């Protein structure tokens, strides 16, 4: 039987959903305010004209000040969020689950998701894969949007292995994101098949289908898995991987 090399402790896994989405090789990860101005009625036309000009300048000044304030506020919030994410990854694996939900609800931009993926591929982070999936799986639709921003895997990419790992994490996170409708997640993953040219991405897609087995009509999943068994698939490892996944679903 083909399995991926993994390394995760059971202590982090607290429920069946975490087990199904973890890296542990248990049966292929399956089951497991505008400013208003009022003129004085008796003001002369000249005065009114001057006053209106002055008001317009005042409004522009106010608007610029508000924009700068919001910009500084947004910047501070982003820095604060990045600090929370950093602390999350530096926590002991047993304590991450209690932090993931409160942090995930603030991750609403693609740039932040990409930053999380940077942490998730760091060799300095203990059990980084599981920690990243746990966090991103609670973030909502933004992780699907990130599929269009994450660079495509090209053989001449100097960070090829890291990029492959990011794709694997993101695909797994989408499969595990129970707060997004299952069909939407499934469709997003299916759309990746035609452009997937790396073994790691293909096996991540196959694993994602296994994770979603209880949420999507199994026949739909089987039809997608059969694409990896066709003559157009030249990687024998991927073929065998898909075959095993298909057999598991038929048991």
Q: Give the DSSP H/E element, type plus range, for residue 161.
A: helix 160-176
Q: Which two tokens stand for residue 99?
A: 């932090």
Report the percent of the chain where pLDDT is more than 70. 69
The residue-averaged pLDDT of 186-199 equals 93
pLDDT tens string 163-182 = 999 999 999 999 999 999 99
- The confidence band for 20, taking pLDDT boundaries of 50, 70 and 90, is low
More confident residue, 156 or 57: 156
Residue 202: pLDDT above 50? yes
pLDDT of residue 75: 73
- Asked if residues 242 and 229 have their Cβ atoms less than 8 Å apart, the reply is yes
* Burial 212-239, CB ≥16 within 10 A → b, else e: bbeebeeeebeebbebbeeeeeeeeebe
More confident residue, 238 or 158: 238
């Amino acid at each position: 039987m083909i399995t991926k090399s993994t390394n995760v402790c059971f202590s982090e896994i607290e429920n069946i959903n975490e087990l199904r989405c973890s890296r542990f090789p248990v049966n292929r990860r399956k089951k497991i305010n505008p400013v208003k101005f009022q003129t004085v009625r008796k003001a002369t036309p000249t005065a009114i004209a001057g006053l209106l000009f002055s008001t317009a300048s005042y409004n522009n000044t106010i608007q610029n000040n508000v924009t700068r304030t919001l910009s500084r506020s947004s910047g501070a919030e982003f820095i604060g969020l990045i600090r929370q994410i950093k602390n999350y990854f530096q926590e002991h694996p047993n304590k991450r689950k209690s932090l993931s939900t409160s942090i995930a609800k603030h991750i609403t931009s693609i740039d932040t998701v990409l930053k999380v993926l940077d942490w998730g591929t760091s060799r300095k982070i203990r059990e980084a894969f599981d920690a990243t999936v746990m966090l991103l799986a609670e973030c909502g639709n933004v992780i699907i949007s990130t599929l269009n921003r994450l660079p495509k895997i090209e053989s001449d990419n100097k960070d090829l292995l890291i990029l492959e790992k990011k794709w694997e994490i993101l695909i797994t996170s989408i499969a595990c994101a129970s707060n997004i409708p299952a069909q939407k997640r499934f469709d997003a993953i299916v759309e990746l098949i035609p452009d997937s040219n790396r073994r790691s991405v293909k096996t991540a897609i196959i694993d994602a289908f296994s994770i979603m087995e209880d949420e999507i009509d199994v026949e739909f999943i089987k039809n997608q898995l059969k694409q990896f068994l066709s003559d157009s698939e030249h990687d024998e490892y991927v073929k065998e991987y898909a075959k095993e996944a298909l057999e598991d679903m038929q048991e």
